[in-house]
Structure 1
C-alpha cells in the first residue's frame, strides 16, 4: 500500500526525543555533549528555512555558479569549477561531468534539532543533474560530514543519471535514512544547532545546458517522543477544496519496476492530485510511453518520475516535492505542521496538505486497512471539524474521498511513536507534510505560509 514504510521504521529510535521535550544546553569544556537537559522549550520545535530570492543566493559561496535574474531567481552554472567522474550504481556506467557549486551560509536553528529533511525546487534538462548535501553542527561544536540528501534529475533517459538517495552515511552520532538526517540517540541530549546546504550542479562536458535551482531549504525539528497528541479544537471548518480524485489501487501490477506497481504509489498519486488541483498536468507527449489502455496515465508518470533507484520506491519525500516543481510555476516544500489547526488555515487559504501517517486498521475508522506508512491529502473539514481526505488507498477514483474522525487522524499523523500489530514500538512521521503552491500565491496564501514559517 505504501512505499515509505521500510526506512521509516529504521527511524524509530532516531525520532525519540526526551519525553519532556527539553532543549539541550550547548556543551562546554566541562560539559560533554551528552549531559543534562535544560528547561522546557517555548519555541516552535520545527524550523523550515529556505533560500529563494536573489539576495538569498548572493549570500552563499559560489564556485562556478551565478544567480539567474528574473521573477524567480535561481542558481545556474556560469563557468564550471571543474570536472568530476561519477559512477552510476544503478546503470553501471561511468561518465565525466562538468560541475559548479553553491554553498549556503550557516543557518543557526532557533531550537536545536534531532532531525533534518532537505527539499529543493529545480529544473534539470536532460543531460544535467544536481546533488544536495547537508552538513550539521552539533551542540558540542563539532560537525557532521557532508551528507548527500539526494542526487536528483527529473528525467531517466540515456543521458541522465538515475535519481537516487545514498545509503550507509553515518558518523557514529547521526545517519541518513533515505531522505532524513537523524541523530542516533536523541535521549543523550545531543542535537544539531545549525546546518549549511551545498548544491552541486552537473552537466555533460562541452554543452551550455545547466540545471536551475529556484528553492533550496531544509526542515529541522525536535518533536517530542509521543504516542498520543492532545486534540485540537476545530476552528476554520466547513470548507472543502475541489481536488481531483485518483486511486493508486487501480494501477496495481502496472509498471512493477517502479516500486512493484500502483499498490505502493500513495505518494506520487497524492502528488498528482495536488498538481492537477493547481491546473498543471503532463502533456500527451510526456504520457506517450504509458500503455493507452491504462486509466489515469498521469499517475504512472508521477510514479516513474519520483522513483528513487536506491530506495526502490516512490515515497522519497523531497523527490515528490521536486517532481511537483517540474510543472510550470509551482513551488513545493517538505515540512512538519503542529496540529490540524495549521491544516485548517492552509485549506481555508486554498492550499491542500499531503500528510504522512501510519496506523493499525483499528486506529482509523472507515479506512479499512492498516499501514506502516501512507500518504494522503487533506482537502477540507466537515462543519464539525472531521477531516475530509483524498485517500489514494481506495478501490476506485470516486471512492477516494473519505471522511475521517478528527482526533484519530490527528493522532496517527502527529505522533512519533506507535505500536504495530505485534505490539512492537515503531516510528510515526511526527506531522510530516508536503505543501505545493504557486510561485505567485495570493496575498492570503502568502500570509498563511509565512505564519507557518514558509516564505
Structure 2
C-alpha cells in the first residue's frame, strides 16, 4: 500500500507501490494507432530545449562487443549482435542467499571500455537485454572513477535470470565505500553537495552456465544511464506541442489484490510489472499459454501475475527494480528495454509522435494531482498520449478495473510531480522525487522515425 508517511530513499527510487483509486477508460490496441493529431508533430519541440543532464551509453553492436576485454566470451554477429560464452574462464561455487543452495557454475566475463560521462553523475543505473535459457544467468557490475581521480570498488548492479529456477534474481545490499553506495539498482554519490561526481565507468558482465554444458546466455544490450539532475521542487513548464493517443492495452493492478502475496504482497504493489505488461503487449508480445500454466486459471489477466513473478527482486522483496523490468520486457522477441531520465514533457511528446509509449515514475500527495484520488511515495504510470490541450493521457494501473485505467491528468501538475527531485510529504518533511525516471521499451530494429526520436531524447 502507498503510505503518506516518510518512505526510505529506495522506496522513492524504485517507485514500486501505489494505492487504490479509480480512473476512466477502455480497451487494448496495437502499436501504431492514434486517435487525433490536432497539432503539428514538427511543433513538438520548444524553441529552446532545457539542458540535458543525462548521459546514456550502451554497447549493442558487433563492433561494440569486440571492443571490450573478453575472458571466455565472444562477440556473435547477426541481425542482433550479442555476447555469448565461448570457452569458460573457470568455475565457481555460488550460494544463493535466498535459497541457501550452493552450486558450481562455469563463467566467462566481458568488461567494457572506459566510458567518460559527458555529464559527470550523481547517480547511475544500468540496463541489460538478454536471453538466459534454463541453466544460465548473468551478473552486471560497475566500477567507476570519481571526479577527483580515485576509483570506486566493483559494485554489483544485479544478478539476473529470466526465470527463477536456477537462481533467484537479486540486487545486492550493503555495498558502499564511504563516498558512494548502491541502493538496490542505483549507484549514488552519498553527498552530492561536496561536488564529488562519477566521472567515468566500466561495466563488467559475467555469464554463467551449468558446468559441462554448451548452454550460454546471449546479451544483446548492456549500458548505463548517468545523471546529475539538480535539486528542484518545481520545473519549468513546457509548451504543448502534440495531440495524439496510442492504443495501449489497459490493465489494473488492483484487480490482482491478494494474488500471489509472495511477490511483493500481491497486485496492490504491482504498478511496475503491470505497466511493463501493458507496453510489451502494445508491441504485440505476450507470454504463451505454456508460460502462464502456473497461474491460477480463475485469475483474470494472468499475464500480469506472470510479469510480477518475473520482475521480482528477491533481495528488495518487490517488483519495482527498474533494470529488472526493462530486462523482463527484452525477454520478448525483438524488444529492447532501457531505464533513463527525460527532461520534459516535450521529450515524451517526441516519443509519442514516433509511436513509442513510456513508463514514468512519480510521487505526490493526493492534492497535487487532480483526479488521481490518492497519494503515493512512488508509483509507475504508462504515458500513452496527449490531449488537444496538452494534458497527459496515462494508463494508470492504480484503478479498480481495467476499464477505469485510462486517465487524463493536468499537464502542469503531472510534469512537476514527475520531474522534480524534492517534494514535501504529508508531514511537511522534505523527501526525494524521482527526477524524470522513465522506462522505454521499443523494437530491436526501430524504424528510422523511432530511431530519430530515441536519439533526440538521448537513447541510442
The normalised TM-score by structure 2 is 0.90
The answer on 1:146 being equivalent to 2:163 is no
- 1:83 corresponds in structure 2 to 91
The answer on 1:172 being equivalent to 2:178 is yes
- 1:100 corresponds in structure 2 to 108
Mapped partners of 2:80, 2:334: distance in 1: 9
**Do 2:13 and 2:434's aligned partners in 1 also have CA atoms closer than 8 Å?**
no
The answer on 1:222 being equivalent to 2:228 is yes
1:11-410 superposed matches below 5 A: 44-157=52-165, 160-235=166-241, 237-410=242-415
The answer on 1:422 being equivalent to 2:427 is yes
**Do 1:66 and 1:76's aligned partners in 2 also have CA atoms closer than 8 Å?**
yes
Mapped partners of 2:243, 2:10: distance in 1: 33
The size of the alignment, in residue pairs, is 422
Mapped partners of 2:2, 2:275: distance in 1: 12
Deviations 1:331-384 (A, max 9, x none): 010000000000001001000010000000111011110000000000000001
**Do 1:49 and 1:453's aligned partners in 2 also have CA atoms closer than 8 Å?**
no
The alpha carbon displacement at 1:136 in A equals 1.0
The alpha carbon displacement at 1:44 in A equals 2.2
**Do 1:9 and 1:426's aligned partners in 2 also have CA atoms closer than 8 Å?**
no
Q: Which runs of 5+ in 1 are unaligned?
A: 13-41
**Do 2:12 and 2:363's aligned partners in 1 also have CA atoms closer than 8 Å?**
no
Mapped partners of 1:192, 1:313: distance in 2: 28
The alpha carbon displacement at 1:267 in A equals 0.1
**Do 1:2 and 1:315's aligned partners in 2 also have CA atoms closer than 8 Å?**
no
Mapped partners of 2:262, 2:289: distance in 1: 22
**Do 1:11 and 1:182's aligned partners in 2 also have CA atoms closer than 8 Å?**
no
Mapped partners of 1:150, 1:419: distance in 2: 31
Deviations 1:391-418 (A, max 9, x none): 0000000000000000111011001111
Runs of 4+ in 1 over 2 A off after TM superposition: 5-12
The alpha carbon displacement at 1:440 in A equals 1.4
The alpha carbon displacement at 1:9 in A equals 4.9
Deviations 1:314-343 (A, max 9, x none): 000000000001100000100000000000
Mapped partners of 2:93, 2:9: distance in 1: 29
The alpha carbon displacement at 1:238 in A equals 1.4
Instruction: Name the SS for the 2:310 alignment partner.
Output: helix
- 1:8 corresponds in structure 2 to 10
Deviations 1:262-306 (A, max 9, x none): 000000000000000000000000000000010000000000000
Instruction: Name the SS for the 1:274 alignment partner.
Output: helix
Q: Which runs of 5+ in 2 are unaligned?
A: 15-49
**Do 2:208 and 2:217's aligned partners in 1 also have CA atoms closer than 8 Å?**
yes
**Do 1:9 and 1:427's aligned partners in 2 also have CA atoms closer than 8 Å?**
no
The alpha carbon displacement at 1:7 in A equals 4.5
Mapped partners of 2:298, 2:174: distance in 1: 41
Mapped partners of 1:139, 1:198: distance in 2: 21
Mapped partners of 1:234, 1:146: distance in 2: 43
**Do 1:43 and 1:110's aligned partners in 2 also have CA atoms closer than 8 Å?**
no
Mapped partners of 2:456, 2:66: distance in 1: 25
